[in-house]
Structures are given as structure tokens and as C-alpha cells.
Amino acid sequence: MARWLRLCSVVDAPQPGKVMEAQAEGVAVCLANLNGELSALDNQCPHRGGPLGQGWIEGEAVVCPWHSWSFNVKTGQAEYPEQERVAVFPLKVENGAVLIDIS
């Protein structure tokens, strides 16, 4: 069963083409805005632990600022190496808030 947690207000969410860091119950999240659609990913790059929410968007991927590993904002799948991925959290917008399910 989903347990929806407030990540931030819609007003504070990143603008299209941008990412930001946020937390929900101590879980670090990368909130990405791809063409006006929000996605929530694990903020920690599996390569060296870089903060994805401090990176940028290229195409449909968020790019880690430390070593440029990139992950699809919808699936979490790495472009290279293909076996790597980050978690993607279910997200919804309700009553002016961005909510995610980290369960």
C-alpha cells in the first residue's frame, strides 16, 4: 500500500529542464522536471555516491555532476554502464504539493 509523503510544494519544484535535491523522511531524492513532468529518483549515483539533484538534464536523463553518469528520469536506467540504475519513486501532485511514495 502506498504511503504518500510530501516532498515539496509545486511552487518550489524545479522548472522544466532542471533538477533539485529534496528529502522525505530522511531519504535523499532527486526531483527532476523533464518538459513540465516531474520525476523522483534516488539522489545517490551508484558510481561514487554523487548527488544527482545537483546535476543537470540532458535529453531524457539526469546527469551526475561528479563523473557524468546519466540515468533516465522515468526508468532510472543508466545510459552506461547498462547494468546500473537508480530507484524511481512513484510521484503525484495533489493540493499544491509534490508527494512521493518511498515504501
Write down the pTM of the prediction.
0.95
Residue 73 corresponds to which cell in the numbers above? 528520469
In terms of Cβ atoms closer than 10 Å to its own Cβ (0-12, 13-18, 19+), residue 22 is buried
pLDDT of residue 2: 83
**Domains of the chain by residue range:** 4-101
pLDDT of residue 71: 98
Within the chain, which residues score under 50 in pLDDT?
none
At the fourth CATH level, which superfamily is domain 4-101? Rieske [2Fe-2S] iron-sulphur domain (2.102.10.10)
pLDDT of residue 53: 98
